């Protein structure tokens, strides 16, 4: 576990009771303070390391970008937008991640650990997927 994982995400204490989380690794939103905490903590368990690369407040939004290495060894980039109300509470968190291979790995791992606490349709259901390293690079397409 990296030192960054030992630190608590500061927005978790500020979530409103009906806060919403949307993320690339989920097929729909997660609503509720406790539910969002559960998902965020589960995601953190799959990070071998996490390094912030950008933090900026723009109006009522905190924008955070970071690089992570998954426990599978895959590299992941993420951009997080945390919306704040005037009183400092957080009603919405949006997390966008890439590349697709790492996103699919993380989504499958979340399904394994959280599918009993959340509806099955919230999670990506893998069919047959090869690791990103086995997929041929994009050579361009003609239309």
pLDDT at position 130, please?
Answer: 52
pLDDT for 120: 86
Architecture of domain 3-121: Roll (3.10)
Residue 110: pLDDT band (50, 70, 90) is very high
SS3 of the chain: the string is: CCHHHHCCCHHHHHEEEEEEEEECCECCCEECHHHHHHHHHHHHHCEEEEEEEEEEEECCEEEEEEEEEECCCCEEEEEEEEECCCCCCEEEEEEEEECHHHHHHHHHHHHHHHCCCCCHHHECCCCCCCCHHHCCCCCCCCC
Is the pTM higher than 0.75? The answer reads yes
Average pLDDT in the 111-139 region? Answer: 72
Q: How does pLDDT run across 4-46, given as a tens digit for each residue? A: 444 557 799 999 999 999 999 999 999 999 999 999 999 999 9
pLDDT single digits (tens) 44-88: 999 999 999 999 999 999 999 999 999 999 999 999 999 999 999
The answer to whether 128 touches 31, Cβ cutoff 8 Å, is: no
Name the residue ranges covered by the structural domains of the chain: 3-121
User: Which one is predicted more confidently, 94 or 121?
Assistant: 94
CA distance 117 to 111: 10
Q: Is the pLDDT of residue 89 over 50?
A: yes
| In contact, 26 and 111? CB cutoff 8 Å | no
């Amino acid at each position: 576990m990296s030192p960054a994982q030992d630190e608590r995400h500061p927005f978790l204490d500020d979530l409103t009771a009906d806060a919403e989380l949307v993320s690339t690794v989920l097929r729909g939103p997660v609503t509720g303070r406790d539910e969002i905490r559960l998902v965020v903590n589960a995601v953190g368990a799959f990070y071998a390391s996490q390094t912030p690369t950008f933090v900026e407040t723009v109006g009522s939004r905190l924008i955070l970008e970071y690089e992570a290495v998954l426990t599978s060894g895959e590299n992941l980039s993420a951009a997080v937008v945390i919306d704040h109300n005037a009183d400092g509470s957080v009603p919405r968190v949006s997390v966008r991640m890439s590349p697709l291979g790492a996103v699919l790995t993380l989504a499958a791992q979340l399904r394994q650990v959280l599918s009993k606490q959340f509806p099955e349709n919230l999670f990506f259901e893998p069919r047959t997927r090869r690791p990103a390293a086995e997929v041929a690079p994009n050579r361009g397409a003609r239309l």
